[in-house]
Chain A
Amino acid sequence: MSDLFHIVHKSGKAILYLLLLLPIIWILSGFYSVDQNEIAIPVFVGKILHLRNAGIHYNIPYPFGEIHIADIKKSRTVPVGFGSLNYDGMSSDHLNNTIIKYTGNSKETVFLDTNIFNQQFMTGDGNIISIEIAVVFNISSPRLWFFNYKNPDLLISETAQRLLFNLISSSAIDSILVRDSQLESSMVSALQNESVIKECGVQISSVTFKEVSLPANNVENAYRDVKSAEDDRTRRIENAKKEASIIITQGKTEARQLHDSALIDGTNIRNKAFTEFELFTKMNQSRDFENEFDYRLYLSTIESLFKENKTYIIDPLQALDTIFINQDGD
């Protein structure tokens, strides 16, 4: 019994010391540090105090005080159109996998493929396209970020989706498939002008179109074939131009050949005439005894003809008896 009393006596002192120490520890736990890119919002007994910049600060600890710290330089990303919306540590597929269908008084729950539903949008010209974008922002007003909306990430996502829907539902599919940088900049400015975005206390940095694609394989193939057909058209025309160039070049070559041939022929004709003229003139001048000269000329011509060719001489009175003079003169 005395031992027990001794133990209780000793532990009582320890408890006393502990009780004295605990408040000191609790008080000291109120110190906190704020980094260079951060802003802290201290709350004391429910009231928001002045914001704190970088440095070591003190606030009465919980349950009387709270500290909310926001990194205002850190870029945060919210996806839109992704199958499952996991962002900034908040896992959520906040769209249930169902559609509610009402027919008269009856209600039917139909399964919805959330992944496809999230990604698909209808374009202004009645086509369907799959889009995923990422909205990048940073906190500009920590007070608004922490205390105005319960789920500001979700608000940004929903607002971005609405603006994307407005943009896509008023545009033709071709202008979206091109992925003009104007699409991204118009989304950024539309988001920045939204009052709810300002109420969230964020600044939109950028909107990136991560994925713009066609929703089904056969559709994608058909669109790809258009590009292929365009290339085929260009290629066909280029080939035709090359062929045309060859044809023209051939034509020019043949025309030149005709011209050159005609020149040569013309020259030959002139030369022949001139040569014969000269020969005739000489012969004419050389004819001392005209008949004799002519006769000799005749004979030499006939002789050379008969020498070079086969000749048959037939006596008309004796048709069966023939005299044959061959090339050798026999």
Chain B
Amino acid sequence: MKKTIIIIAISTALLLLLFSSLYIVRSDQFGMITRFGKVTRIIDQGGLFIKMPYPVDQVFYIDKKKKVYQPPPLEVFLADDQNIVKNVTLAYYIIWSISDPLRYFETLRDENLAEIRLENNLRSIVNNTVGEYSFSAFISTVPEELQTEKISLQITNESKKNILPKFGITIEKVDINRIILPEQNKAKIFERMVAERSAISNRYRAEGEEQAKMIISEANRDKSLLLSQAEMEAQKLISEAEAEAAAIYAEAFNKNPQFYKFWRQLKSFEESFSKDTTFILSSDDPMLLDGKF
């Protein structure tokens, strides 16, 4: 039994020794082997490797994968030009990776620290580059004026030159993905937006009123024209009828002019004097005489 226990203990110890000597590096990692704190080996491919057991050799892993980091937005000042906008809030992101693991291990070792360093180093590059351009290089409906992509490329190239030697980091890309005015400028923009739309609303309503007036006035003009034409036609019809009537009367007259005149006079008496007429005659009035007229 004692033998068994001893065998088990020795086997366990050997196993532990074996496991602490073996290490696996994934294909998306760098393996940094240090001996008493000094880097002795860098593994840049996946596999199973052997080292001296802890605490002689230690292994540190560094992620080879590309990383995306978005620093806090930055308030930057633009080039002075005709535009009233002088400063904007700018958001950007960085795609970076570790290309020199030894340098990275020696200077940074930690991704969070690396990102802080990136941000600090990029700050001046972003400020200096963006400061050469005006607002319309970022915001414009004229395609020729827009230069956001070019500015991003400029920042990327500048940062590639400055950052790699220091920290063993490669900047794959720096891209601007948002620009907006500071809060204090927004109120003015909102006011302008409201004023512009109010002007459009007023114009629409005024146009509606003007067109309505034109339509109604045209209709009234057409109506007047219709009525005047109708009156002319009516006049013509009456005139034609009166002409015919006159011809008839003339024919009657020609039959017996004297009697016609007498008869016409009597007719005129009947037509002129209505039932409400009051006669005031002198006793020697011809109407009361023997009809000699």
Contact = CB atoms under 8 A, between A and B. Distances in A.
Interface stretch (A69-77, A133-141, A178-186, A275-283): A275-283
A213 to B, nearest CB: 13
Interface string B253-293: 00110011011001101100101111111111101101100
Contacts, number: 354
- Chain B at the A interface: SS class: helix
Contacts of A27: none
A306 B277 CA distance: 10
A45 B263 CA distance: 142
Given A313-B288, A314-B280, A269 B245 contact: yes
Contact of B141 (A5, A170, A230): A170
Contact of B143 (A170, A226, A287, A305): A170
- Of the four ranges (under 10, 10 to 19, 20 to 34, 35 or more), the interface on chain A belongs to 35 or more
B218 interface: yes
A169 B179 contact: yes
Contacts of B95: 155, 196
B248 interface: yes
Interface string A1-40: 0000100110010011001000000000000000000000
B208 A234 contact: yes
Given A149-B65, A165-B148, A226-B200, 15 more contacts: A48-B46, A101-B74, A170-B140, A170-B141, A170-B146, A219-B194, A234-B208, A236-B211, A247-B219, A259-B234, A262-B233, A262-B238, A284-B255, A295-B291, A309-B276
Interface of B: 1, 4-5, 8, 24-29, 46-48, 63, 65-68, 70-75, 89, 91, 93, 95, 123, 127, 138-141, 143, 146, 148-149, 173, 175-181, 186, 189-190, 192-194, 197-198, 200-202, 204-205, 207-209, 211-213, 215-216, 218-220, 222-224, 226-227, 229-231, 233-235, 237-238, 240-242, 244-246, 248-249, 251-252, 255-256, 259-260, 262-263, 266-267, 269-270, 273, 275-285, 287-288, 290-291
26 contacts: A12-B1, A12-B5, A64-B48, A95-B72, A100-B71, A101-B75, A117-B180, A147-B27, A215-B186, A216-B190, A219-B194, A236-B205, A237-B208, A243-B215, A248-B222, A251-B227, A254-B227, A261-B234, A262-B233, A273-B249, A277-B249, A284-B256, A297-B266, A302-B269, A311-B278, A313-B285
